[in-house]
Chains A and B, each alone.
Chain A
Amino acid sequence: MSRKILEVTGLNKHFGGLHAVNNFDLDLFEGDRSAIIGPNGAGKTTLFNLLTGYHRADSGRIIFGGTDITNRASHQIASAGISRAFQITNIFPKLTVLENVRSAVQAQMGKAFNVFGRADKIGTEETEDILGLSGLAEGSTMVAGELSQGDKKKLELALALAGKPKLLLLDEPTAGMSLEETRETMALVDRLNEEFNLTTLFTEHDMAVVFNHARRVTLLHQGKIIVEGTPEQVRMNETAQRIYLGEHR
């Protein structure tokens, strides 16, 4: 039995009259690969924002690796080992690909405040590894803002991988990618999960991706959990079919 890594209980978030996340519970065990699905506005991104400290929860608790991280600052949660890749690419456009990843690696090494070290001598091996893993080793001297959309997404993921997170949150990792790039990216996610036992939680609109890659699926609708279970169970669920899967067969 693997160790419980994330335990979310009774999480709530309102935006004015909108109950964006409604009494949300989730357990993740080490090495899990889970997906959260749901129509637009279901609360998936808000949930990620709560988990990473970007929004404050109105109530509920988030326990990560045995520590309560509810409403901690984003940088503290990141240092604790939760890393996040964004739906809309969120990179450092004027730095090179190498500098993007290296800076992220150094931040996770706790070197962000190192004033007298040389940036080009610290964490270089790990940077190379991540660039290799994410298929960015070639052209790593390119300025990130000039990359193709697919490569920007790869860099987005590479940044999230920097510093070896314990839990990786992926917000629509394949949105805007070609079929080929989608396959490559998800193969990388699977590989990270299987080889390095990296716990992964992702949201996705592409049901083929969800049902091929997630081991457990949570369907969210209007902030509430509708059904939670294996992909098979969710697929067979009538409510799920009615409110979401019907349009995504």
Chain B
Amino acid sequence: MLSSAGGEKNRGFIIGFYRRVGLSGMIAITLGLGFLLVPLLPGEFPVIVAVEILILGLFAMSFNLIYGYMGQVSFGHAAFFGLGAYGTALLFRACQAATGEIGYLDFFLSLSIAIPVSAIGALVVGFFCVRLTGIYFALLTLAFGELLFYVVFSWYGFTGGDDGIQGLLPPPFFRDTVNYYYFTLTVVAIAVVVLWRITRSPFGYSLRMLRENQQRAAFLGINVRLCMLMNFVIAGTFAGVAGALWGPFQRSVSPVLLGWMESGIAVFMTLIGGAGFFAGPLVGSVVYTTLNAYVTRFTIYWPLTIGFIILLLVLFVPGGILSVVDARIAAYRHRRESNANLAALSADGRESAQ
């Protein structure tokens, strides 16, 4: 009896907690705990994959501020991921050239420079893009993304052109994959918490209003373009933070980081996980990156594989993986509640009979 009461209480606690943090909160917490344990897996490979999951997950989550929350599609979001990566790499290399090997302070400074670089980039690009919506917005972001890609690709003297920038060896502590992994986990966790706050803020709801009905939002006093621009800058900055972490981990950056294929990765991840959920892109990153890492061991036809997966997804689960989980939980709760109602009803019946 006692243990069953305890079990009931526990379940009550879990349900109460779930109601408080929602599906995305539960997923984020579960994933967070899971990520802590990744280094216990045998070999270095899972840790390497996990770093990529985190970085690309943050990148995709920043994309979803524009797509899922504001309701516009950007096909040029990687431009800011790449700007962040290049900002970090360029300062990194300058510090290396000055001192031979990069120190810890210079390392953190190099990472931080990604924030203003990507923010300014997003401000300039966004200034033009927010004048349009829908397909025109998407095409303009694509155009700017490709423009920046070609600038980086061709400017040998400054960016190294299509060779990229190599030899980004971080300070000794961060050379160890596991240490770098925990560092990435910390940065991404902080970024995710900040993103979470933003989506729950009045500004976050302003974005939803723009998504649902721009015209009405304007009639309610929201400066639509300024709101879109601010979000574009915020999203670009978070993409830049993700990009900053990329270079020192891979020891190099290359122009493809700014290209439309990289932008496509954010779109894929978001569609896989579910754009309607805060944690959707992160779940998408887990699936996409893991598949990418392990499938490419067996076959060189990765684009074919992911293309097939996306096809199945769009046809059968257009809301992404989390929409299925969400629907299952809703159905479960509905069943429980109607059972509870039945129980209450029969209790009422007994009372009135007495």
B227 at the interface (CB under 8 A from A): yes
Q: Of A92, A110, A122, which one neighbours B213 at CB under 8 angstroms?
A: A92
Contacts of B200 on A, CB cut-off 8 Å?
118-120
- What DSSP secondary structure best describes chain A's contact surface? loop
Contacts of B206 on A, CB cut-off 8 Å?
103, 106-107, 112-113
Expressed in whole angstroms, the Cα–Cα distance for A92 and B214 within the complex equals 9
Query: Are A117 and B202 touching (Cβ within 8 A)?
Result: yes
Kindly provide the distance from the CB of A64 to the nearest chain B CB, expressed in whole angstroms: 14
Expressed in whole angstroms, the Cα–Cα distance for A103 and B205 within the complex equals 6
A15 at the interface (CB under 8 A from B): no
Interface residues on A, range: 35 or more
B267 at the interface (CB under 8 A from A): no
Binds A, one of B104-112, B178-186, B216-224, B329-337: B216-224
Contacts of B220 on A, CB cut-off 8 Å?
75, 78, 83, 103-104, 107-108, 159, 162-163
Chain B 219-235, CB-CB to A under 8 Å as 1, else 0, gives 11111101100100010
Kindly provide the distance from the CB of B276 to the nearest chain A CB, expressed in whole angstroms: 9
Number of A-B contacts (CB under 8 A): 108
Expressed in whole angstroms, the Cα–Cα distance for A104 and B197 within the complex equals 19
Kindly provide the distance from the CB of A29 to the nearest chain B CB, expressed in whole angstroms: 24
Contacts of B215 on A, CB cut-off 8 Å?
54, 90
Contacts of B213 on A, CB cut-off 8 Å?
90-93
Contacts of A115 on B, CB cut-off 8 Å?
197-198, 201, 203, 234
B161 at the interface (CB under 8 A from A): no
Q: Of B202, B216, B217, B219, which one neighbours A111 at CB under 8 angstroms?
A: B202
Q: Of B201, B209, B218, which one neighbours A117 at CB under 8 angstroms?
A: B201
Query: Are B212 and A94 touching (Cβ within 8 A)?
Result: yes
Q: Of B204, B216, B227, which one neighbours A119 at CB under 8 angstroms?
A: B204
Expressed in whole angstroms, the Cα–Cα distance for A99 and B207 within the complex equals 12
Instruction: Select the residue from B202, B206, B208 with max chain A CB neighbours within 10 A.
Output: B202
Contacts of A117 on B, CB cut-off 8 Å?
201-202
Contacts of A112 on B, CB cut-off 8 Å?
202-203, 206, 221-223, 227
Expressed in whole angstroms, the Cα–Cα distance for A152 and B222 within the complex equals 21
Query: Are B227 and A113 touching (Cβ within 8 A)?
Result: yes
A209 at the interface (CB under 8 A from B): no
Give residues of chain A (93-150) contacting chain B, Cβ–Cβ below 8 Å. 93-95, 99, 102-104, 106-108, 110-120, 122
Interface residues on B, range: 20 to 34
Expressed in whole angstroms, the Cα–Cα distance for A118 and B199 within the complex equals 9
Query: Are A75 and B212 touching (Cβ within 8 A)?
Result: no
Kindly provide the distance from the CB of A180 to the nearest chain B CB, expressed in whole angstroms: 26
Expressed in whole angstroms, the Cα–Cα distance for A112 and B203 within the complex equals 5
Given contacts A75-B223, A112-B221, contact A106 B212 (CB under 8 A): no
Kindly provide the distance from the CB of B226 to the nearest chain A CB, expressed in whole angstroms: 8
Expressed in whole angstroms, the Cα–Cα distance for A159 and B217 within the complex equals 10
Expressed in whole angstroms, the Cα–Cα distance for A92 and B217 within the complex equals 9
Query: Are B219 and A52 touching (Cβ within 8 A)?
Result: yes
Expressed in whole angstroms, the Cα–Cα distance for A195 and B229 within the complex equals 40
A243 at the interface (CB under 8 A from B): no
Expressed in whole angstroms, the Cα–Cα distance for A75 and B210 within the complex equals 13
A73 at the interface (CB under 8 A from B): yes
Contacts of A163 on B, CB cut-off 8 Å?
220-221
Kindly provide the distance from the CB of B261 to the nearest chain A CB, expressed in whole angstroms: 31
Contacts of A197 on B, CB cut-off 8 Å?
none
Q: Of A74, A83, A94, which one neighbours B218 at CB under 8 angstroms?
A: A74
Contacts of B222 on A, CB cut-off 8 Å?
75, 107, 112
Kindly provide the distance from the CB of B251 to the nearest chain A CB, expressed in whole angstroms: 35
Given contacts A91-B213, A103-B206, A112-B206, contact A79 B198 (CB under 8 A): no
Kindly provide the distance from the CB of B278 to the nearest chain A CB, expressed in whole angstroms: 14
Expressed in whole angstroms, the Cα–Cα distance for A27 and B143 within the complex equals 50
Contacts of A114 on B, CB cut-off 8 Å?
201-203
User: Which chain B residue shows the least CB distance to A104?
Assistant: B220
Given contacts A93-B212, A107-B209, A113-B230, contact A118 B221 (CB under 8 A): no
Instruction: Select the residue from A74, A108, A118 with max chain B CB neighbours within 10 A.
Output: A74
Chain A 160-175, CB-CB to B under 8 Å as 1, else 0, gives 0011000000000000
Kindly provide the distance from the CB of A99 to the nearest chain B CB, expressed in whole angstroms: 7
Contacts of B224 on A, CB cut-off 8 Å?
75
A84 at the interface (CB under 8 A from B): yes
Query: Are A113 and B203 touching (Cβ within 8 A)?
Result: yes
Query: Are A106 and B205 touching (Cβ within 8 A)?
Result: yes
Expressed in whole angstroms, the Cα–Cα distance for A110 and B220 within the complex equals 10
Expressed in whole angstroms, the Cα–Cα distance for A119 and B197 within the complex equals 9
Expressed in whole angstroms, the Cα–Cα distance for A99 and B224 within the complex equals 18
Contacts of A102 on B, CB cut-off 8 Å?
205
What are the 4 closest A-B residue pairs judged by CB atoms, nearest first? A78-B221, A92-B212, A74-B218, A106-B202
6 chain-A/chain-B pairs, Cβ below 8 angstroms: A74-B218, A84-B219, A86-B216, A90-B216, A112-B221, A117-B202
13 additional A-B pairs beyond A92-B212, A94-B212, A115-B201, beta carbons within 8 Å, are A78-B219, A83-B219, A91-B213, A103-B206, A106-B205, A107-B217, A108-B221, A110-B221, A112-B206, A112-B227, A116-B197, A159-B216, A163-B220
